[in-house]
Amino acid sequence: MCGGGGPLFLELEEVPWKKYQCHACGRIFRSMGRSPRCPDCGSRELGEI
């Protein structure tokens, strides 16, 4: 087990979310990362909005 005290609080900078539209099913969603996938159909054929 780890010993170390109470909760850990981290201060995070604003995360750069991008908005995408899936070319396969048309879903519009926000994501981050290098290779996002459509949450509905799993396609990686996306266009940035």
| pLDDT tens for each residue of 6-45 | 787 666 667 789 999 999 999 999 999 889 999 999 999 9
pLDDT for the residue 38: 98
The whole-angstrom distance between residue 14's C-alpha and the CA centroid of its chain comes to 13
Burial label for 22, CB within 10 Å (0-12, 13-18, 19+), is: buried
CB within 8 A of 5, min separation 6: which ones? none
pLDDT attached to residue 7: 80
